[in-house]
Structure 1
Amino acid sequence: MKELDIAEVAQRSGVPASTLRYYEEKGLIASIGRHGLRRVFAAGVLERLALIALGRAAGYRLDEIALMFAPDGEPRIDRDRLRAKADELDQTIRQLSAMRDGLRHAAACKAPSHMECPTFRRILQAAATGAIGARGDKRRSPPPN
């Protein structure tokens, strides 16, 4: 089994050594020993880091990603969780698309003032009532413009 020291893992994966140490502290990866002061990892850590990166890109928290690995370190990915995350991403896409469309309308609106634009007023009202919010919010999208 090929061994990689922490500098090699950081270089090959693009994950800083400080993050690798943090992931190890959280139990997401495990070193197999040390050479001097440097941690050493099995080459399989690169695939595991790729899975962690994919999970992070999809919006999973580290504790959620940790649940995707069996105690032996093998991936154990729950398909229902994947479907739920895909649904959550669909909702986020709808919210961001509605916000983008509203911003484009506001930028091109011919009304003398944004406050005189009925579409802008609807968007403003949606924001005031919590119908639109920060990314990841579970609230509904703004009214169509």
Structure 2
Amino acid sequence: MPPTAELDIAEVAERTGMTASGLRFYERRGLIRSSGRNGLRRTFSPEVIDRIALISCAQAAGFTLAQIARFLVVGPDDAELRERMAEKARELDQAIARLQRMRDSLRHASTCNHTPLIECPEFKSRIRDGDAAR
């Protein structure tokens, strides 16, 4: 199997939508690691793209960079961090349910003839009760 081509920092920035300075910041924080240099430019293995996607997802879920750094190296014996992960998963479940209720309510409101729309009993019920199946 041929060796995987290294990506320079500009390629990683383009593929991830990050700036080169953001990538260097992540590297200083220990979130990613360059694999070498091509002249003055840092190079990275292609796997860094997936790692950055994971970091971005974790940030969007509300993890701090310090928590993400721990998350990236967590082992089965880190009970505290694993509990924090489980807690965050529960919080995300609640947020997802809330957003689904809002989405379904807005879909209903977009076709509802009630005036004003936010006074529609079905709209209110979907927001309040979370009955997205109506």
Q: Which has the higher helix share?
A: 2
Alignment of 1:24-39 (within 5 A): 24-31=27-34, 33-39=36-42
2:121 is matched with which residue? 118
**Identical-pair percentage:** 38
- SS of aligned partner of 1:39: strand
**Alignment CA distance shift 1:51-1:83 (3 Å):** farther
Provide the residue aligned with 2:97 in structure 1.
94
Offset of 1:67 from its aligned partner? 1.5
Segments of 5+ residues of structure 2 without an aligned counterpart are: 76-80
Between Structure 1 and Structure 2, how many residues are aligned? 118
How many angstroms apart in 2 are the aligned matches of 1:33 and 1:110?
Answer: 62
Q: What residue in structure 2 maps to residue 10 of structure 1?
A: 12
TM-score with structure 2 length normalisation?
Answer: 0.61
Give the aligned partner of residue 65 of structure 1.
68
Superposed, 1:128-139 pairs within 5 Å as: none
Distance of aligned partners of 1:37 and 1:105 in 2 relative to their CA distance in 1, 3 Å threshold: same
Q: Which runs of 5+ in 1 are unaligned?
A: 70-74, 124-140
Moved over 4 A (4+): none
Shift of 1:103: 1.0
Name the Cα RMSD after superposition: 3.5
Does structure 2 conserve the Cα–Cα contact (< 8 Å) formed by 1:56 and 1:62? no
Of residues 64, 71, 74, the one that matches 1:76 is: 74
Q: Does the 8 Å contact 2:102/2:127 carry over to 1?
A: yes
